[in-house]
């Protein structure tokens, strides 16, 4: 019985070792995804952009991100997508994305269950349909309540100014926070004719306004004002 038990243990050990060898995941962390298009400095005359890259051996997927104008100073993360192996064991090495005219960076990395490559990054410009609206709205200028104002009424009447830019329709969004670090959002809403009213509890509130248009452009944020409601 002891001999049989020992033999079984040896077979089990060898079997487990073999499984570990079979399931070992290749380290791809020192590899690089080679970008085929758009390459660094490309100027594309079509808003339908095709992204292509060389496959990385032993990769089971790719993460693709697109930012404008670049990742170091991104105003928008346009895309953050994962493309993984399908049921037939195939991983695509291309994708399409429609983009407005402007400057972009895109980056891609390969991965498997245990490892990932560094990002490969390329910058490019889209200069397609000349009729597309590329001009952002003007930055709103806050009017009332004035910065540092205090009042006893719990109804706050906000107003601001901004000259409209000819082109697609524009709208204003107001952001109201209960903390100076602008992390505790109380209200986010659309302004009507550059005004907005709301009722709040007592406290100090911090607010700013941004403008957007129907083409996807947005203004810079206005300066931030604060107002205190207290009896």
CATH of the domain at 78: 2.60.40.10
Tokens matching residue 174: 């107001």
- Please, what is the Cα angle at 112 between 65 and 70, to 5 degrees? 15
Domain around 151: 141-229
Average the pLDDT over 12-25 and give the result.
59
- The number of folded domains in the chain is 2
Residue 226 is predicted with a pLDDT of 97
Cβ 210 vs Cβ 221: under 8 Å: yes
- Where is the domain boundary, 126, 156, 178? 126
Q: HSE of 142 in the Cβ direction (CA atoms, 13 Å)? A: 25
Same domain, 87 and 148: no
Q: Is the pLDDT of residue 9 over 80?
A: no
Write down the pLDDT at residue 195. 96
The verdict on 217 and 149 lying in the same domain is yes
* Residue scoring higher pLDDT (194 or 18): 194
Q: How sure is the predictor about 22, in pLDDT bands with cuts at 50, 70 and 90?
A: low
Give, in degrees to the nearest 5, the angle at Cα 144 between 141 and 149.
125
Lookup result for tokens 């009722």: 199
| Under 8 Å between Cβ of 75 and 88 | no
Span 182-200, mean pLDDT?
A: 94
C-alpha span between 218 and 140 (Å, rounded): 11
Instruction: Specify if 28 maps to a domain.
Output: no
| Mean pLDDT on 110-124 | 96
Structure-token match 């020992």, residue found: 6
Q: How far is CA 159 from CA 20, 145, 146, 165, 194, in A?
A: 67, 7, 10, 19, 6
Question: Is residue 33's pLDDT more than 60?
Answer: yes
For the entire predicted model, the pTM comes to: 0.50
The residue out of 103, 126, 149 marking a domain boundary is 126
């Amino acid at each position: 019985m002891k001999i049989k038990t020992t033999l079984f243990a040896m077979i089990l050990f060898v079997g487990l070792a073999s499984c570990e060898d079979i399931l070992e995941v290749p380290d791809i962390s020192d590899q690089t995804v080679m970008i085929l298009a758009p390459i660094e400095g490309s100027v594309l005359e079509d808003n339908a952009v095709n992204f292509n890259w060389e496959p990385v051996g032993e990769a089971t997927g790719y993460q693709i991100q697109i930012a404008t104008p670049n990742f170091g100073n991104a105003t928008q993360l346009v895309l953050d997508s994962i493309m993984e192996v399908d049921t037939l064991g195939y991983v695509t090495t291309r994708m399409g994305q429609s983009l407005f005219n402007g400057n972009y960076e895109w980056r891609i990395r390969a991965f498997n269950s245990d490892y990932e490559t560094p990002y490969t990054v390329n910058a490019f410009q889209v200069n397609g349909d000349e009729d597309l609206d590329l001009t952002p709205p003007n930055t709103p200028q806050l009017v009332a309540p004035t910065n540092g104002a205090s009042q006893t009424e719990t109804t706050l009447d906000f107003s601001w100014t901004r000259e409209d830019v000819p082109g697609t329709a524009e709208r204003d969004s107001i952001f109201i926070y209960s903390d100076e670090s602008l992390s505790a959002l109380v209200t986010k809403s659309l302004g009507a004719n550059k005004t907005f009213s709301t009722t709040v509890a007592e406290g100090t509130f911090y607010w700013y306004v941004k403008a957007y248009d129907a083409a996807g452009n947005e203004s810079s944020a206005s300066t931030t004002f604060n107002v205190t409601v207290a009896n």
